Amino acid sequence: KAGVTQTPRYLIKTRGQQVTLSCSPISGHRSVSWYQQTPGQGLQFLFEYFSETQRNKGNFPGRFSGRQFSNSRSEMNVSTLELGDSALYLCASSPGVAGHGYTFGSGTRLTVV
């Protein structure tokens, strides 16, 4: 089974710009969750998509949005980037039902300058 693929691996953007990150989950997995990790911080939950619907959402501003396509691939968008958005963004794939863990991608390192 191919793993979770996140693209791009690295990204440098300027304040005020917007960015789109992509995640391809494991084949057959219907759930994709997004997390933000900043230095010294744990995993901050952004949102989770299941069968093209946002099923859960963390406490992030509306500048952070996402979507999921019919093939379960997901994109995350951040608009009006701020310096504080610099982080490692992680995508996790799972079957989406209780009793299963997540498989993470390698992440996208976003740097906002």
Partner 1 sequence: DQQVKQNSPSLSVQEGRISILNCDYTNSMFDYFLWYKKYPAEGPTFLISISSIKDKNEDGRFTVFLNKSAKHLSLHIVPSQPGDSAVYFCAASARSNYQLIWGAGTKLIIKP
Residues 46, 52, 57: CA angle, nearest 5 degrees: 20
Which amino acid is it at 93?
S
Residue among 79 and 92 whose Cβ is closer to partner 1: 92
User: In the bound complex, what is the minimum distance in angstroms from residue 16's beta carbon to partner 1?
Assistant: 26
Tokens 């995993």 belong to 43
Alpha-carbon distance of 75 to 89, in angstroms, equals: 11
Site string for partner 1, 12-51 (x = CB under 8 A): -------------------x---------xxx-x--x-x-
Find the shortest distance in angstroms from Cβ 104 to partner 1: 3
